[in-house]
Structure 1
Amino acid sequence: MGTSLQPAHMLSPGANLGAYIQTVSGFDVLSAEEEKQLAEDLYYREDLNAARQLVLSHLRFVVHIAKSYSGYGLNQSDLIQEGNVGLMKAVKRFNPEKGVRLVSFAVHWIKAEIHEFILRNWRIVKIATTKAQRKLFFNLRGQKKKLAWLTNAEAKAVAADLNVDVSHVHEMEGRLAAHDAAFDAGVDDDDDSAWQAPAHYLEDRRFDPAAQLEHENWQENSLNSLAAAMGQLDERSQDILRARWLSEQKSTLHELADKYGVSAERIRQLEKNAMKKMRVAMEA
């Protein structure tokens, strides 16, 4: 029962995965008697050193489980780290009086943490949210390793085996077959593949003759409406609007007040009334 102390970086799968696996493979495998004694020390006496030895002696088991999830395209170190979290939760909850080995009890906790990690990170859009969908996701993933698209008979067999509706099997199969695609082409994509990026399928209407003509007609109509509405105002109101809104060097209320010998408040009222008349004229 001599699990030796190791440097912290050797017990982190992210630092050097090969060295980590070699390290955890060197830890002693506990006998049933040793495991029960350590579990009792932790359960009844909260012996943290016993907890540590229980965890370290089962790290190789986490590596073994994590390898079975290598088909999801996620970093193996991350999968192992998540499995280790599940192992620690199992050790904390392990009751030596139940008469089972820790490895049998811990497998559920290890897989649960790995499953959660995969569902959070495998796709940007979550593909399985309910308990039934998660069960179907992981079981169907295993089936798809040896099957092409499921036939109706195969889909019904999977549905019956997992106790789900056959329509859910087809839906999950479609989700598994889908893949994420970047909107723009990658910087390393060559000319033969870059054109397939979704960005290239958007229509560019900037140089469409019909769109340009439509825009020019809109501008012309707007200018004609503006000129006609301005023509219905008195000269002072026209001058105020031009000075306040249409000139490059816009005048202030006080500058126009000095020009017409009235208060700035009076200029503001004239401007407001003129804008109202313009709006009514252009909407008519």
Structure 2
Amino acid sequence: MTTRTGTLTAATALAPANPWALVPPLGNLDAYISAVNRLPMLTQEEEQDYARKLKEHNDLDAAGRLIMSHLRLVVSISRQYMGYGLPHSDLIQEGNVGLMKAVKRFDPDQNVRLVSYAMHWIKAEIHEYILKNWRMVKVATTKAQRKLFFNLRSMKQELKADAAIETGDNTFRDTLTAQEIDSVAAKLNVKREEVMEMETRLSGGDVLLDPSPSDDDDKAFGPISYLTDGAHEPTAMIESRQRDVMATDGIAQALEALDDRSRHIVEERWLKVNDDGSGGMTLHELAAVYGVSAERIRQIEVAAMKKMKKALAEFA
């Protein structure tokens, strides 16, 4: 198992005096987590200022402040990958390496917060570490295989739970049915053959690197005890909020870009629902309202959609 000894203390070394240098070594994990959670967060203005100092003047003090204020993010993300039987401290170390890479490459002129940018680098570094250490033989080498690896295990648990509820049969089945394989392939947009191959790789061969219970340690757990809670995964939560904003404020702004007739057509066609649950007005109904052909209404609708797509792109 590969580790990067001293990664956390290296991050601490970049930081200036109190309170930034109060993070203890990783030897005491609870003390480390408690310390990073007490570190002050940066405002957007402070973050932009430090990022520019680092980019323009290679200011290591500024880099240290950016790193230290986001160590709690690494701890949060690393918890989601404890189900692979790897030490939490190692996951944090690898995540901190990803955070350092993100800080080094962060561009303050892109008008995004470092937290959003750093998530990709932190998770990428942890993913790479897990794939190198979870099995003696790598189980995922291509992009599609990596996608399956980090989703198939949790999805299997969900499918088995749903099946148990529907049938009342709590008998454990380790393999997926043909219908379940098709469901996974559709959700992940991969071929069913790829799902079957990854399931085979995951279910046999090497021994998992998880702690084994012993007579002296009744607190040892297997990977199943730490499955990721997808509902509270930071990236998924941010994406969900972005979709909500796009569906409200984004659509409203896009509609403002249309003339009255085009806006009315789009609203009647796509944004209104009748009392009986059916959709809005048809092309022929709108054609009767405006005294034009249904084809003309369709042309107006197509042009309006193009304008809205452009406005939504600018909003995003």
TM above 0.5:
yes
1:6 aligns to what?
Answer: 21
- Per the alignment, residue 156 of structure 1 pairs with 182
Structure 2 residue aligned with 1:143, among 155, 170, 176?
155
Runs (4 or more) in structure 1 with deviation over 6 Å come to none
1:217-249 per-residue CA deviation (whole Å, 9 max, x = no partner) reads xxxxxxxxxxxxxxxxxxxxxxxxxxxxxxxxx
> What does 1:1-284 align with in structure 2 at a 5 Å threshold?
4-6=19-21, 10=24, 12-13=25-26, 15-148=27-160, 149-178=175-204, 180-181=206-207
TM-score normalised to structure 1 length = 0.60
- Letter matched to residue 169 of structure 1: V
Contact 1:27 1:57 in 2 (8 A): yes
Distance across 2 between alignment mates of 1:181 and 1:86: 28
Is residue 159–residue 180 contact of structure 2 (8 Å, CA) maintained in 1?
no
RMSD across aligned C-alpha pairs, in angstroms?
2.4
Distance change (3 Å), C-alpha of 1:2 and 1:150 = farther
What are the superposed Cα offsets for residues 157-215 of structure 1, whole Å, 9 maximum, x if unpaired?
22122221101101211222226359xxx9x89xxxxxxxxxxxxxxxxxxxxxxxxxx
Please say if residues 36 and 68 of structure 2, whose CA atoms lie closer than 8 Å, have aligned partners that are also in contact. yes
Q: Deviations over 1:33-69 (max 9, x none)?
A: 1111111111112111000000000000000000000
Relative contact order (alpha carbons < 8 A, sep ≥ 6): 1 or 2 greater? 2
Listed as ranges, the gaps of 5+ residues in structure 2 are 1-15, 161-174, 216-316
Q: Distance in 1 between matches of 2:42 and 2:157?
A: 35
Query: In the alignment, is the contact (CA less than 8 A) between 1:3 and 1:57 conserved in 2?
Result: no
Q: Which has the larger radius of gyration?
A: 1
Instruction: Give yes or no for contact 1:136–1:162 (8 Å, CA) kept in 2.
Output: yes
Following TM superposition, by how much is the alpha carbon of 1:151 offset from its aligned partner in structure 2, in angstroms?
Answer: 2.6
- For the 8 Å contact 1:3–1:56, the answer to whether it is kept is no
User: Which stretch of the first structure deviates more once superposed, 109-118 or 143-152?
Assistant: 143-152
Distance 2:151 2:207 in 1: 25
Report the CA distance between 1:122 and its aligned residue.
Answer: 0.3
Alpha-carbon distance between aligned partners in 2 of 1:29 and 1:127, rounded to the nearest angstrom:
38
Q: Tell me which amino acid in the other structure corresponds to 2:148.
A: L
Q: Which deviations, in whole Å up to 9, do the C-alpha atoms of 1:12-46 show, x marking residues without a partner?
A: 43x11101101101110111111111111111121
Instruction: State which drifts further: 158-167 or 111-120.
Output: 158-167
Residues 19 and 179 from structure 1, CA distance in 2 versus in 1: closer, same or farther, beyond 3 angstroms? farther
Q: Gaps spanning 5+ residues in structure 1: where?
A: 190-284
- Tell me if structure 2 keeps the 8 A contact 1:3–1:28: no
Distance 1:67 1:85 in 2: 16
In 2: Cα distance, 1:2 partner to 1:30 partner: 16
Aligned length: 182
Tell which deviates more after alignment, 100-109 or 32-41: 32-41
Shift of 1:7: 5.7
1:17 partner amino acid: L
| CA distance 1:96–1:168, change in 2 (3 Å) | same
Deviation at 1:97, TM superposition (A): 0.4
Instruction: For 1:87, give the aligned amino acid.
Output: L
Residue type matched to 1:174 in 2? T
Contact 2:135 2:207 in 1 (8 A): no
Q: 1:145 to 1:44 in 2, by over 3 A?
A: farther
Task: Give the secondary-structure state (helix, strand or coil) at the position aligned to 1:51.
Answer: helix
Q: Distance in 1 between matches of 2:159 and 2:83?
A: 15
- Give, in whole Å, the separation in 1 of the partners of 2:93 and 2:177: 37
Q: 1:154 to 1:3 in 2, by over 3 A?
A: farther
